[in-house]
Amino acid sequence: MLIDELRQSLKSAEADIAAIKAFWLNSNVAGKFATLDTHVNDPEFWKNPDRDSIITEHRALKHIVESYPTITKSYTDFLEIIELFSDNESELEAVKNDIAKIGRAHV
């Protein structure tokens, strides 16, 4: 049954989502990004001799900062969706591919 398959897919992704959340909480990515963002947006930033390394780190952290809420919200949304549409096979079929991707959407 499709609902069982989708529940299993989300169950399989659970450890990955937990690891992503633990990384987020323990790494202070948001704080580091905010600090770098302040430097990058400073009008005098171009004078900073470390600007190239700061820009490189800023870009890498920006990807993580933008991806984290999307991944965690998608996971939570999919849990709710499969329960909401547990008796509607066509609706579940519509989200099947997206649910299969959630475990592979690592930061």
Output the six-digit token pair for 87: 């008796």
pLDDT in tens, 33-58: 999 999 999 999 999 999 999 999 99
Find the largest Cα–Cα distance for the chain: 61
Residue 51 is given by DSSP the state H
**Is the model's pTM score more than 0.85?**
no
Asked if the model's pLDDT at residue 102 lies above 70, the reply is: yes
Q: How confident is the model at residue 88 (pLDDT cuts 50, 70, 90)?
A: very high
Average pLDDT over residues 90-104: 85
Q: What is the rounded distance in angstroms from the CA atom of residue 2 to the CA atom of residue 97?
A: 12
CB 85 within 8 A of CB 92: yes
Asked if the model's pLDDT at residue 103 lies above 70, the reply is: no
Exposure string for 42-63, b = 16+ CB within 10 A, e = fewer: eeeeeeeeeeeebeebbeebee
Asked if the model's pLDDT at residue 100 lies above 90, the reply is: no
Report the percent of the chain where pLDDT is more than 90. 86
Higher pLDDT, 100 or 20: 20
pLDDT of residue 37: 97
How many C-beta atoms lie closer than 10 Å to residue 11's C-beta?
11
